[in-house]
Amino acid sequence: MDELGFNKIAGAVLATALGFMFIREVPHLMMHSNAPETPIYQVGPIVQEDSADAIEVPFPSPVFIASMDATRGAKVFKKCQSCHNTDKGGADGTGPALWNVVGRKSGSKTGFKYSSAMASAGYNWDYEQLDGFLTKPAKYLSGTKMAFIGLKKEADRAAVIEYLRIASDTPLVKPVAAEAAPVDTMEADTMEAEIMEDKSLELKDLELKEMKTESLEGVTEDSMSIKIEAPKIETPKIKAPAKADGGH
């Protein structure tokens, strides 16, 4: 191929590339978008607000106590029967037997091989510890071999714990509802001061209204009206001229 033919081919390739680039850029030049710098909608997981200011209900709540029903707990516990036994002297399964579990130290069932996480946890299975663990075992104790997803409903957990409480030689005393935490004294004083200030302003407004009402008492429409009398205009008397004697 001679030099002229090579130049023609190279020019054709270059022209094709330039044409392709031109076709790609023309729509961008013709279409202008006024997109905001900060997107109105955000795609991705929803970020929850900080719950630091949320009021925590002390354990156990009145709902928890009211839900401690062993009959219901036996029904809910059916989810656990494939791994656990609650009979006195019952054999271990995938999980340890749970007779006398309430009040027992974690990882202390003789003859059962616990995970290292459970063996070293050092929990005392009281009502609050059991409630936290049954909510979501893997989150409560990282490294546990218990693959149970957990009981989301507080009423279900309370019922199961009551069922386990009575599965004992010496059941622990049933808990009572905790009292709500007292309101901070400074915060209460501030709230009271604000309320008193609002009441003071309301009283001042009421007093001003009463003063205005008293000042207007006894004032009638007649006393408020002003009588305007038209000035009297005297008409001058004009005498007719006297007739002259004789003349015609």
> For residue 247, what pLDDT is reported?
47
First to last CA, the chain: 154
Q: What is the mean pLDDT of residues 15-44?
A: 65
Token digits for 35?
């997109």
Position 25 scores a pLDDT of 72
What is the longest distance spanned by two Cα atoms in the chain?
Answer: 169
Give the separation between CA 135 and CA 119, rounded to whole angstroms. Answer: 20
Sequence spans of domains, the chain: 62-165
- Name 20's Cβ contacts closer than 8 Å, sequence gap at least 6: none
* 7-10-12 Cα angle (round to 5): 110
Q: Span 185-205, mean pLDDT?
A: 66
Report which of residues 183 and 189 the model is more confident about.
Answer: 189
- Tens digit of pLDDT for each residue in 129-169? 999 999 999 999 999 999 999 999 999 999 999 999 999 99
What's the CA gap between 130 and 64, in Å, rounded?
Answer: 13
Can you give the pLDDT at residue 51? 47
Which pLDDT tens digit goes with each residue over 101-127? 999 999 999 999 999 999 999 999 999
Would the pLDDT of 89 be above 60? Answer: yes
Superfamily of segment(s) 62-165: Cytochrome c-like domain (1.10.760.10)
Question: Cα separation of 170 and 65, whole Å?
Answer: 20
